Amino acid sequence: MIVLVHGVPESAALWDSLRDRLGGDSVALGLPGFATPRPDGFGATKDDYAAWLIGELERFDGPVDLVGHDWGAALTYRVATTRGDLLRSWAADVANIVHPRYTPHDFAQIWQTPQAGEEFFAGQVGLAAGDVAAVYEAMGVPPDRTGALIALGDPVMASCILDLYRSAVPRIFDTWGDALAPTSAPGLVLHASDDPFGDEAMSNEVATMLGARRATLTGAGHWWALQDPDQAADVLGAFHASVA
């Protein structure tokens, strides 16, 4: 079973085109609060999301092939380094976000800042759907696939993003870094060559820390699963076949 986990500001629909191309059974999980309800009492911190993902994986009959993107990648690294028994394999992108020298991107720094984050999301409320789609299209997302990305004015998602990013101040490594070591399940660090949020050198260093393989998605950006699902399916399919 292939289990896929999306990131911010996305829904599980991020994976639809890729799942159509992957062999075997797959499930795309929706992060709580991202086109899904935010459960009562759910703190939406990185540890809350990690615990949620572990709980979801424990529902499967056996180890799975976990694939993570963006914050879903951060959660994948956490599961791979702390609950490897749940995995047959793992693959994830933007490994630089768990690197000890990582500097959060500009949006992340705004969201991590009290009041500034709230003001940012308040400014997104009421934006026309076409304007939202245009922003994502400018970042390389095909026009017919922007629906997998959620408008930043969504109040439930906004509250989750603020709590999530503020649980990772100043960076993820500060509280999760002590677990970064070779994983028990085979791993693959993906680097999309045109991802403005990626850093190939840092990602390679993290891959070494985790004892993972590396693969480049050539000509693809941050939303590679939407931009080039054929290439992604080929890379992941070859990896999964190699660990069979």
CATH number at residue 191: 3.40.50.1820
What's the whole-model pTM score?
0.96
Could you tell me the two tokens for 82? 């702390």
How far, in Å, are 72, 94, 219, 227 from residue 99 at the CA level? Answer: 16, 10, 24, 26
Q: Is residue 159 part of a domain?
A: no
β-sheet bridge partners, residue 68: 5, 92
Structure tokens at 84: 């490897």
Is 115 among the domain residues?
Answer: no
- pLDDT at residue 139, as a whole number: 76
Per-residue confidence (pLDDT) for residue 147, from 0 to 100:
78
Residue 129: predicted pLDDT: 65
Residue 124: exposure state from Cβ atoms within 10 A (0-12, 13-18, ≥19): middle
In a domain, 195, yes or no: yes
94 Rama class: left (phi>0) / alpha (psi -120 to 50) / beta = left
The tens-digit pLDDT sequence of the chain (244 residues) is: 999 999 999 999 999 999 999 988 999 999 999 999 999 999 999 999 999 999 999 999 999 999 999 999 999 999 999 999 999 999 999 999 999 999 999 999 999 999 999 999 999 887 766 777 777 887 778 887 777 787 777 899 999 999 999 999 999 999 999 999 999 999 999 999 999 999 999 999 999 999 999 999 999 999 999 999 999 999 999 999 999 7
Which residue matches tokens 């009562």? 40
Q: Which positions ≥6 away from 135 have C-beta within 8 Å?
A: none
Neighbours of 85 (CB within 10 A): 11
Domain count for the chain, please give it: 1
Rounded to the nearest 5°, which phi and psi values hold at 61? -70, -30
Residue 64 lies in a domain: yes
* Predicted local distance difference test score (pLDDT) of residue 87: 98
| Burial tier of 118 (Cβ tally within 10 Å: 0-12, 13-18, 19+) | middle
7, two tokens: 């990131």
Residue 122 lies in a domain: no
Q: Is residue 125 part of a domain?
A: no
- What is the rounded distance in angstroms from the CA atom of residue 86 to the CA atom of residue 231? 27
Classify residue 136: in a domain, yes or no: no
For residues 141 and 176, give the distance between their C-alpha atoms in angstroms, rounded to a whole number. 31
In angstroms, the Cα distances linking 87 to 61, 91, 151, 220 are 11, 11, 32, 27
The half-sphere exposure of 156 on its side-chain side, counting CA atoms within 13 A, is 14
Distance of alpha carbon 206 from alpha carbon 76, whole angstroms: 13
- pLDDT of 126 reads 75
Predicted local confidence at residue 117, as pLDDT? 96
- Rounded CA-CA distance 136/143 in Å is 8
Element (H, E) at 214: strand 213-217
Closest Cα to residue 50, out of 91, 78, 18?
A: 78
pLDDT of residue 143: 82
Q: Domain limits at 206?
A: 2-103+172-242
